Amino acid sequence: MKRILTLALVAAFVMGLAGFASAKEVQMKAQFVHHLTWTDNTDFNDENNEDDFLAKQRVRVYFDYVASDSLNAVLGFEMNTEWGDADNGGDLGTDGDTVRVKHAYTNFVVPGTSVSARVGLQPVAWKGAYGSPIFDDDAAGIMVSTPITDQVGLTLGWVRALDDGVKGVEDGQTQDDIDLFTAILPVQGEGFGVTPYLIYGNFGSDLYDASNDFFNTDKDAYDKNFYARGLLNAAGAKGNVEDDSSIWWGGANFEVSMFAPFTVKGDIIYGAVNADDEENDRSGWFMDLGAEYKADFGTLGIIGVYGTGDDEDADTDGSNTMPTLNDSGFAPTHFGFSGAVSGGTDSVLAAGDRYDLWAIGAYLADFSFVENMSHKVIVMYGQGTTDGELIKKASVNNDRYFITDEDSFVEVNFDTTYQIYENLAAIVELGYINLDKDEDVWKTDDQDDDALKAAFYLKYDF
């Protein structure tokens, strides 16, 4: 009898554990991307030394701890390794301290409501027809969302973008913080969608110190002032930022699909930085518009892009380019803009902090001649919108500018994806950019050599 009771207790314990385990689930997903990239003249100057060939890989692993439909937490890790680089474990022995936390956030629904919240290190992006030119990356913050009606929602958020970022200075001794607050109002109707949004923030008085030149080629100096590159005067700040400054963007993304197979999509954004001195101000517009037609043989599309540029007096009156947080989202192409597969070479034209240009393009995507193999080809032509007279001034650092209204470019991309297995793809990116810089503006003829790119990726998702 005692043995029977013991067996019953053990069985009850095991059954209890099984019931507990069924209420909690750990899901995992990952992405392995290995790539070989050859580039030439990414700075459009073949006289400069550059590393033409790179072999890299990126691994991202995510664990989703699901307690219920109303509660889960996500922990994600990222490992970036350049083959042969001892600093990140790519040399012989392949031992390196390269694991980084990418995501660490909690999702939950407020009990008794339809309000959901996401808290922690999470993906943050503002919707864009071809990706956001403001920010599309990861950030630390809180995002709270709720439906208002069946067609209208609301998201409110706070992002802590930077806290005491000056290297070598004890925490609390600087005021170079950046806080961002946002309100997003997605509206989804029958055959159309509109997503207006507002972003407001401020940055502290020590974000930029003129004694630390952010045009410096030293990586630590560049990283330290990364945010300053996209927020302060694109012509270069003329002195220290001595008072707190405000930042804001107002924008709207839209897509009309009611005329399928025709689709029209686009964005309009205005952004501004109000600094302590007029010469450190920055404000401007960004717009894009695209149309697509889905046919049996593929998707035909056209795209137009416009961003305001600086006038001749930008060095004293403030910049007329839209401020940015980083160049991680706007991706009509994979070479001139940020559309490369994870870890690839891109943003040769966007330069990481500005969109003072206009461009038009046409593309054909998703066409195929071989089973499981698809292609995309895009051609873009554009010019700068910054006044070339500004570059001629001795007081302006020309390294801050890429193209002016006297310069033009042509970019051609050809991409191929071969689906080897359901979860394994081989991807090839071929890119070419011809840049025609005006010799009278730049006083040189060695900055417009053609840029080339050939990249091969092996991408495994599971």
- pTM equals 0.87
CATH of the domain at 315: 2.40.160.100
DSSP assignment letter at 348: T
DSSP assignment letter at 129: B
Q: Report pLDDT for 64.
A: 96
Profile the chain (462 residues) by mean pLDDT over runs of 10 residues: 40 41 77 95 80 91 95 95 85 82 97 96 95 93 97 96 60 67 97 97 68 45 56 69 82 96 98 85 95 96 96 88 85 93 84 86 97 97 94 74 90 98 97 93 79 96 94
What is the separation of C-alpha 414 from the centre of its chain, rounded to a whole number of angstroms? 21
Give 209-273 as a DSSP string.
-TTS-TT-S-HHHHHHTHHHHHHS-TT---S---S-EEEEEEEEEEEE-TTTTEEEEEEEEEEEE
User: How many domains does one find in the chain?
Assistant: 1
Q: Is 41 exposed, middle or buried (0-12, 13-18, 19+ CB in 10 A)?
A: buried
Q: Report pLDDT for 220.
A: 46
How far is Cα 283 from Cα 310, in angstroms, rounded to an integer?
10
How far is Cα 237 from Cα 48, in angstroms, rounded to an integer?
27
Residue 196: give the domain boundaries: 2-461
Give 19-53 as a DSSP string.
HHHHT-EEEEEEEEEEEEEEEE-TTS-TTS----E
How far is Cα 390 from Cα 398, in angstroms, rounded to an integer?
9
Q: Which two structure tokens, joined as six digits, stand for 125?
A: 């992006």
* Element counts in the chain: helices (H) and strands (E): 6, 19
CA torsion angle for 8, 12, 18, 20 (degrees, to 10)?
A: -170
Q: Report pLDDT for 433.
A: 96
DSSP assignment letter at 8: H
